[in-house]
Amino acid sequence: MIITKLQRLFHKIKNREFKKIVRSIAHRIPSSLKQRLPLPQTYSFLIIGTHGVGLHSLLYFISLCKSVPPPPDNKPKNVLPMPMHLLHPEYCNQQITFEVYWHLFKGNGYGKWGFTQDGYGANKTSYIKTHLNKKVPAVCLVRDPISALISHINYCVLRDMFHNEFDVHKNYIKNFLDDESFLNSTVCFEKNISQMADATSEVLYIDTKELMGESTINTMHKIAKFFDIVPPSDQEKLLIKVNDSFSRCFPYCFKVSNQKIMISSFEGIFDPKDPEVIYNKKDTRFYLNKAYISKQFPQRRLYISTEKPIRKTPEIIDEINKETEKYLQKVQNIQDYYNQYKLTENNVFEYLKSHPKTLTHLKKILKDQTDIIRKNAPHIFENWIYYQDFLKL
């Protein structure tokens, strides 16, 4: 066993994977020492959201922004939103401190960074109050609660399809609407915002619709001004769909002439399916094509890259393109299958009409949890069309 560990260590040294070595050492530090290491208090913003509101998109867009430090060092630096999992209930312990240091350490130098609150969890209230010791601005992403519920359920439908666990006979609506933890993490806006109140100086409310299509550009300029950061100069990067059923089919890797090829809907190293997603990871890939457009998906740009430079011969490019199109046909099949079973507002409304107890319970929860939006962001609340229809049931 010792020899195996030494071999792994030498392999990491040979590949200059020094940050992995540091992380491995950090995870082995005794818990008694972990308790003495304070959580960094250099965070400068908070992101507050829930499942189903498009939080992945907001975090990705913020990670594209830059922070400009004061003179004499005016060189732009990266902005890091901490991954969502760090403030999940199961992670709120001393181990989170090392995760924060790890994310700050492995980056390329951050001018600003902040924590992400991804849904309410009762057992993390104490940790937040005792460890987030200063007040900073917060962007709170909210959504029509009916749309948020459907988005979260459909996320689980697609996830089950990817894992070959989808069951056409499973009643996804019943299973999730009867699950209090699901509702807490999806539509409990009041609880979610209040849980972060002691660490919040002011709140900017953003609706998910403001991060869709062309409106994303103006929205990100508003958020950048609020956080005192700079939006990306290439505004086309703000038009990408970050976590939809298409982007979740990537990255896809295959081999051509013993070279590992990667197709991605993102430039750089980013995978929306990664539960511990890495933002601002240094991009060391070599690109064969930064604008591959398939006739099957003419609205979606793909990036084709390798780990090392390869000789681009017509034969190799042709083989790569053929393999890409072959995989995209599989993606199309996934889209068709998903579209066949994904839920709509009408599906949920029909279910609620035939289950009055669930309807009554959900109405009470949503009334209590959306009042804070009605009071603090009435312009958002009044445009929740599906919620208004829900109230008429």
Are 219 and 318 within one domain? no
Are 266 and 230 within one domain? no
Are 114 and 198 within one domain? yes
State how far the alpha carbon of 111 is from the alpha carbons of 44, 66, 76, in Å: 10, 8, 8
Are 200 and 63 within one domain? yes
Residue 170 in domain: no
Are 68 and 92 within one domain? yes
The whole-angstrom separation of Cα 274 and Cα 369 is: 29
Q: List per-residue pLDDT tens for the chain, 393 residues long.
A: 555 555 565 666 656 665 555 556 555 554 445 456 788 999 999 999 999 999 999 999 999 999 987 666 778 889 999 988 888 766 666 568 878 888 887 766 788 999 999 999 888 898 899 999 999 999 999 999 999 999 999 999 999 999 999 999 999 999 999 999 999 999 999 999 999 999 999 999 999 999 999 999 999 999 999 999 999 999 999 999 999 999 999 999 999 988 999 999 999 888 888 877 778 778 889 999 999 999 999 999 999 999 999 989 999 999 999 999 999 999 999 999 999 999 999 999 999 999 999 999 999 999 999 999 999 999 999 999 999 999 999
What pLDDT was estimated at residue 30?
47
Residue that the structure tokens 């987030």 belong to: 132
Are 207 and 281 within one domain? no
Are 74 and 196 within one domain? yes
Q: How many domains does the chain have?
A: 2
Phi-psi domain of 52 (left: phi exceeds 0; alpha: psi -120 through 50; beta: other): left
Residue 370 in domain: no
Phi-psi domain of 119 (left: phi exceeds 0; alpha: psi -120 through 50; beta: other): left
Are 42 and 72 within one domain? yes
Of 252, 203, 256, 219, nearest to 61 (Cα)?
Answer: 219
Are 254 and 217 within one domain? no
Are 206 and 270 within one domain? no
Are 89 and 205 within one domain? yes
Given a contact cutoff of 8 angstroms between Cβ atoms, the answer to whether 272 and 56 are in contact is yes
The whole-angstrom separation of Cα 307 and Cα 259 is: 8
Full domain range(s) for residue 30? 13-143+186-239
**pTM for this entry:** 0.88
What pLDDT was estimated at residue 6?
58
Query: What's the CATH number where 46 sits?
Result: 3.40.50
